[in-house]
């Protein structure tokens, strides 16, 4: 793989969405189930809102997904408890290898390209002290639709000033990798869970287990 710049998905790729489990303990004895259902509905609502042309930013989508998950699981958190669980998205933990991998990749322009709202992304980047490793933080809010819409991926080449074919798009989400590949990026799948390839007729250019594997594959 030869790339002149990198775009990183945020949630599940740089930041562990299931680090909300700790906050979830305040409202349920099974925070893992809450986290899994919350994430599932969060993604579903982004796709549905894109198809319906009814955009709301990712904070609102995440809040709606949490409300559904609580109702599905028979939970009745107070307003204060729900706010604390929501606020966990502003302080998600970066995966253990992220900082070192970004340091190894420092010679390449690197940006986040995420469904997250600007406020959410700024907060989680600063919480993990990663700002110095990033050229830009790009949110779908600029085009008011969600991945995998091509308009979202187009934000990357426009900001980095690079041809799409020279950019490596890095995501742990198989559907996101497929969207990036269809757009014309070199697609890197960070397959943290050893999941099967999505049946979408598109294959990533590189599959690694974590970002350390990406740095190694790029000779860093």
Q: Which residue in this structure is represented by tokens 């709606």?
A: 64
Residue 65, number of CB atoms within 10 A of its CB: 21
Cα–Cα distance list, 137 to 27, 38, 131 (Å)? 32, 24, 9
Q: How does DSSP classify residue 155?
A: H
Among 90, 103, 180, smallest CA distance to 134 is for 103
Burial of 22 from C-beta contacts in 10 A (0-12 / 13-18 / 19+) = middle
Q: Which DSSP symbol is given to 196? A: P
Whether residue 9 lies in the annotated active site: yes
Cβ burial of 54 (10 Å; 0-12, 13-18, 19+) is exposed
* Whole-Å CA distances, 64 to 32, 45, 68, 168: 18, 8, 6, 32
**Exposed e or buried b per residue across 79-97, where buried means at least 16 C-beta atoms within 10 angstroms of its C-beta:** eebbeebeebbebbbbbeb
Q: Catalytic pick from 9, 57, 141, 176? A: 9
Task: Write out the catalytic residue numbers.
Answer: 9
């Amino acid at each position: 793989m030869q790339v002149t710049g990198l775009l990183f998905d945020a949630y599940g790729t740089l930041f562990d969405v299931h680090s909300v489990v700790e906050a979830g303990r305040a409202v349920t004895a099974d925070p893992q189930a809450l986290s899994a259902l919350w994430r599932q509905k969060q993604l579903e609502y982004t796709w549905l809102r894109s198809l319906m042309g009814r955009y709301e930013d990712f904070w609102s989508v995440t809040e709606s997904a949490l409300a559904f998950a609580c109702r599905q699981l028979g939970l009745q958190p107070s307003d204060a408890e729900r706010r604390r669980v929501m606020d966990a998205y502003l302080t998600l933990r970066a995966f253990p290898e992220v900082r070192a991998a970004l340091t190894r990749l420092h010679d390449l322009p690197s940006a986040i390209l995420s469904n997250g709202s600007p406020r959410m992304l700024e907060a989680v980047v600063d919480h993990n002290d990663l700002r110095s490793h990033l050229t830009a933080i790009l949110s779908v809010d600029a085009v008011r639709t969600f991945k995998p819409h091509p308009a979202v991926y187009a934000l990357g080449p426009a900001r980095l000033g690079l041809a799409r074919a020279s950019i490596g798009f890095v995501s742990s989400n198989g559907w996101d990798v497929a969207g990036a590949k269809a757009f014309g990026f070199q697609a890197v799948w960070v397959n943290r869970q050893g999941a099967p390839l999505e049946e979408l007729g598109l294959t990533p250019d590189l599959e690694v287990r974590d970002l350390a594997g990406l740095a190694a594959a790029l000779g860093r």
